[in-house]
Amino acid sequence: MKLTDLLRFNQIVIQLHDNPDADAVGSGYALFRYFKSLGKDVKMIYGGRNVISKSNMKLMLSELEIPLEYTRELEKPELLLTVDCQYGQGNVAHFDAENVAVIDHHATGKISDEMSEIRCNLVSCSTICYAMLKDAGFDVNADSRIATGLYYGLYMDSSQLSEISHPLDRDMIDYLRYDKSLVTRLKYANFSISELETAGIAISHNNYLDKYRAAIVKSDPCDPNILGVIGDFVIQVDSIDICVIFNECAGGYKLSVRSCSIEAAANELAAFITAETGNGGGHFNKAGGFISADSLKKVTAEPIERYLAERVEEYLTCYDVVRFTDGIKERERFARFRKKAGIFGYVKSTDVAPEGKEFRIRTLEGDVLVTSRNDIYIMIGSVGEVYPVEAGKFHAKYTPLDEPFTGEFEYAPSVIDIAAGEPCEILPYAKKCRAGQGAAILAKPLDKFTKVFSAWNYEGYMSGQKGDFLCYTEGDDNDVYVVKRKIFDALYEPVE
Ligand SMILES: [Mn+2]
């Protein structure tokens, strides 16, 4: 769905979920301003049992002058647009409407269609609205109140930005011109005394799995942000390397995951725990997730606490580790392959940034730090995957062509100038290259989930599932990497 698709309606009511949080309000307000700017008859409402009472939310509404109305009755509008929630859910007061549209980031099994935009890979609904408004040509920086609302929405839904994962979330942070002093005030009006007590009770009742240096912590229902705060505290305990903090929320359970173990990324663990029941993701050290109560019922009859402990144990005992310093083990199990002749993209790092400058390559998998040098190139694969390569290796494997490289990707690869903090796209600089013959690699399919610590300065490790390929550049036993099975099958062929 595009926002412009909704312009055929004139009377629009934006509905937030009951007990609206910063993300719902920030998202709703940005949309409100968009429709208002186009002369629509628009209002912003929420229903349910409670009127907003949290001090940060009251401050947000008054300082940003957000015309949010609490209502128990609504005259049937031409369009009801539920934001940060889905029509018909338990935490969304029911109102009749002639037409219903949805913008949300919660995984409920429902997918996007012509009247709904559901992106569960984004940590906040504010990010979806940012992207949709940008698409519709609306400048969210035109009024800092709009930008501030979106920023604070993302901030609060990502446990203070620590659980973001998608490059769009990061782009939004870089882009928004928000009111910094107001955000600071909001940050320090976050918890009430009773929530402080809730956090204290949660911490003193943790379930410690000493064999795995892991802790599962249950909190009473509270603001989801408390979970992140508890996690940040618990992970500092000397005998705890991993912790999962959770509580009940509308429709299921909200999770915060923390890890200081180099081999167990929090985002991977969050995705693993929630794989069958919801969604999860974030950073290497901090991540978040959601488990839907309905989905949980389908996979287990156990209490959530047991289920979480079992999933953590299962995760921690399910993988192998390969380090680039190990060299090739069991060489006889590897076969020779080479890249099929094909067209790829490449960019010289010095085209993107002056020599010696450090920049980040922003990809779906995360940011990779690179220092611009004559002998460092950036490769762009057929599905938009991006990685640094030494010029020597590049010229051995590829023939550069003097033609621009173009492609359509879910997220167009971009780089960030670290000093300036500005994102810039790299596709405009990209040229084609042809994979040459004789670029042989040694590869074998993985028998199980494997984590690979490569020689490049990645934020952690690459991981492969069973069936993905573990690869070495022939002649360099330390140049190890993982290629997803689908990509491997498309790009490589066996060499006799
Ligand atoms: Mn949200």
Confidence of residue 217 (pLDDT cuts 50, 70, 90): very high
- Give the pLDDT score at 251: 82
The pLDDT tens digits of the residues spanning 118-129 come to: 988 888 999 999
Give me the pLDDT at residue 202, please.
92
SS (H, E, C) the chain: CCHHHHHHCCEEEEEECCCCCHHHHHHHHHHHHHHHHCCCEEEEEECCCCCCCCHHHHHHHHHCCCCEEECCCCCCCCEEEEECCCCCCCCCCCCCCCCEEEEECCCCCCCCECCEEECCCCCCHHHHHHHHHHHCCCCCCCCHHHHHHHHHHHHHHCCCCCCCCCHHHHHHHHHCCCCHHHHHHHHCCCCCHHHHHHHHHHHHCCEEEHHHCEEEEECCCCCHHHHHHHHHHHCCCCCCCEEEEEEEECCEEEEEEEECCCCCCHHHHHHHHCCCCEEEEECCCEEEEEEEHHHHHHHCCCCHHHHHHHHHHHHHCCCEEEEHHHCCCCHHHCEEEEECCCEEEEEEHHHHCCCCCEEEEEECCEEEEEECCCCEEEEECCCCCEEEEEHHHHHHHEEEEEEECCCCCCCCCEEEECCCCEEEECHHHCEEEEECCCCEEEEEECCCCEEEECCCCCCCCEEECCCCEEEEECCCCCCEEEECHHHHHHHEEECC
Q: What is the CA(461)–ligand 1 centre distance, in A?
A: 29
pLDDT at residue number 366: 62
Average pLDDT over residues 20-32: 97
Q: Which of 240-244, 379-383, 422-426, 449-453 has the lowest mean pLDDT?
A: 422-426
- Which one has a higher pLDDT value, 415 or 96? 96
Q: Mean pLDDT, to the nearest integer, of 205-212?
A: 91
What pLDDT is attached to residue 414? Answer: 75
Residue 418 — pLDDT band, cuts 50, 70, 90?
A: low
Distance from the alpha carbon of residue 23 to the mean position of ligand 1, in angstroms: 5
CA of 280 to the centre of ligand 1 (A): 13
List the chain domain ranges.
3-187, 193-318, 324-494
Cα of 86 vs centre of ligand 1, distance in Å, is 11
Residue 492 predicted with pLDDT over 60: yes
Distance from Cα 398 to the centre of ligand 1, integer Å: 45
Ligand 1 midpoint to CA 16 (Å): 10
For residue 361, what pLDDT is reported?
A: 79
For residue 83, the CA-to-ligand 1 centroid distance in Å is: 9
The average confidence (pLDDT) of the chain is: 89
CATH T-level assignment (fold) for domain 3-187:
inorganic pyrophosphatase (n-terminal core) (3.90.1640)
pLDDT at 433 over 70: yes
Give the distance (Å) from ligand 1 centre to CA of residue 106.
Answer: 7
Taking the centre of ligand 1 as the mean of its atom positions, its distance from the CA of residue 332, in whole angstroms, is: 51
Architecture of domain 193-318: Roll (3.10)
438 has pLDDT over 60:
no
In the reported structure, the alpha carbon of residue 21 is separated from the centroid of ligand 1 by a whole-number distance in angstroms of 7
Q: How far is the CA of 125 from the centre of ligand 1 (A)?
A: 5
Residue 247 confidence (pLDDT): 92
For residue 24, report the distance from its CA to the centre of ligand 1, in Å. Answer: 6
Distance 158 CA to ligand 1 centre (A): 9
Higher pLDDT, 262 or 407: 262
Task: Give 104 Cα–ligand 1 centroid separation in angstroms.
Answer: 7
pLDDT at 281 over 90: no
pLDDT at 439 over 70: no
Structure-model confidence comparison of residues 249 and 9, the more confident one: 9
Q: Of 365-369, 374-378, 397-401, which range is least confident?
A: 365-369
The per-residue pLDDT for 32 is 98
Please determine, for residue 333, whether its predicted confidence score (pLDDT) is greater than 90.
Answer: yes
Q: Which of the four pLDDT bands, split at 50, 70 and 90, describes residue 84? A: very high
Cα(169) to ligand 1 centroid in Å equals: 13
Mean pLDDT of 447-471: 84
**What pLDDT score was predicted for residue 346?**
92
Residue 124 Cα to ligand 1 midpoint, Å, equals 5
Going by pLDDT thresholds of 50, 70 and 90, the confidence category of residue 195 is confident
Confidence of residue 286 (pLDDT cuts 50, 70, 90): confident
For residue 155, how far is its CA from the centre of ligand 1 (angstroms)? 10
Task: Give yes or no for residue 377 having a pLDDT over 80.
Answer: yes
Cα of 159 from ligand 1 centre, angstroms? 11
293 CA → ligand 1 middle, Å: 17
Expressed in angstroms and rounded, the spacing between residue 325 Cα and the centre of ligand 1 is: 42
CA 154 to ligand 1 center in whole angstroms? 8
